[in-house]
Amino acid sequence: MRSALLPERPAPLILVTTAADGQPFGSHAAIAADGQRVLAADLSRRLGRLGCAVVALPSVASENFHWGRWFVRGARRALDESSGAVDTIGYAGGGAMPLLADDALDDLLSPIPGEVVANSRFSADAFVVAGDLEAALSVLEQCETDNAAPRRLSEAGFAWRDLGSALWARFDVDTTLDLALLRLATRLPGLRTLDSSMRGYLEMARLPGDRPLEVPHLERVGEVVRDRGGELVIAGRVPGATSAFLETETACRVRCFVEERGMRSARGDGPPRSILAALMSRSSPAELVAELSRLGDAVVFDTRVLMAAAAGSSDASAWPPEEERFASDFGDHSRVSTPWLRELTAAAAEAPVPFLFGGHALISDGLRLIVAAAWQGR
């Protein structure tokens, strides 16, 4: 552990976000936010046990939200209030890395001076930087999103190391579906045991309609995974490591449409673009579902790429509202008002093959959990 390996270094100062309040009771968004708060408390305890000074960083809801200015204000305040010298500062989303083992988490906390360590190369949810903190904060203040922060530090001259190859480093809970995937993880052997408070929340939480937190179509997708004659269609920001995993760990064929990896950390490359979004705009959401249905026996779809392309922006504030995104992931089209997303969700619910919608966590480590569950018969 870090305290034993580097006893001469000051404790890293880590700011951990806590989800904002205000979501309607019983909504998909409220369930996700409550789960993120429990996860943030658990992550803070883990970081404390590894020798960190941990400061809560409350999230804010604002149309003009700028991540860098918000983070740096909190970081400077925490540095001013710290009791001793600090040469290492970090950030973690409250839902980040719940399945990451403690030894890999400790690696995140141990950058050498002049280095930044992140949990993911293209879409960071957590990072720690050491050395010239004033220079680092000046760079971070310009970042519109947390995902881009390590890349911007690297461009400014900091050495960059990422933990993307560490198992479960990329798994981050942003949505209600991500919580369902985390609940699935508690039923699989060999994974990090979650805190009892988190396990209790996952069992207690109910989706609208009094449904438990369960991954939709899990059994049907699992049947395709195990079928040598089946074909699984994957679309979205599929990491290379996940593609390689699917090729070796599934019995079925896998057809991948890889689009817009790193879209939230890119800069100067124009608006997000997607061939599937282009197909949808030239026909209809229902026709896109029909075409994907003809390509395979199950479809796992990162719909945030469609949302970004349709909005012409990788900023989630330009996408359909949070509640609609989360409801769509569970096929709940009655709670979706955005016309194209409502049509897409309704068409997927009626499709002859199972469709599983979600975001980045689904299309990366979430797929690992789904495949593991398929072979375990979960």
pLDDT tens-place string over residues 316-361: 889 999 999 999 999 999 999 999 999 999 999 999 999 999 999 9
Cα–Cα dist 134/140, whole Å:
10
Pinpoint the residues of the chain covered by CATH 3.90.550.10: 2-162
Pinpoint the residues of the chain covered by CATH 3.40.50: 217-376
Q: Yes or no: is domain 217-376 CATH 3.30.70? A: no
- State the 10-residue block means of pLDDT for the chain, 378 residues long: 55 95 92 96 97 94 85 96 90 96 94 95 90 97 92 95 87 97 96 95 95 97 97 95 94 96 62 94 98 98 96 92 97 97 98 97 96 88
* Per-residue pLDDT at 7: 53
* Per-residue pLDDT at 219: 97
Q: Which alpha helices (DSSP H) does 156-256 contain, by range? A: 176-185, 196-204, 218-226, 240-249
Beta bridge partners of residue 53, listed in sequence order: 13
Cα–Cα dist 329/176, whole Å:
8
Cα–Cα dist 176/14, whole Å:
25
Cα–Cα dist 230/211, whole Å:
29
* Per-residue pLDDT at 1: 47
Cα–Cα dist 303/236, whole Å:
7
How far from 61 is each of 22, 23, 161, 219, CA to CA, in Å?
A: 9, 11, 31, 37
Residue 12 burial (CB count, 10 A): 25
Model confidence pTM above 0.85: yes
DSSP codes joined into one string, 245-304? HHHHH-SSEEEEEE--TTTTT--SS-S---HHHHHHHHS-HHHHHHHHHHH-SEEEEEHH
* Per-residue pLDDT at 8: 65
Amino acid found at 27:
S
Question: Hey, what CATH topology would domain 2-162 get?
Answer: Spore Coat Polysaccharide Biosynthesis Protein SpsA; Chain A (3.90.550)
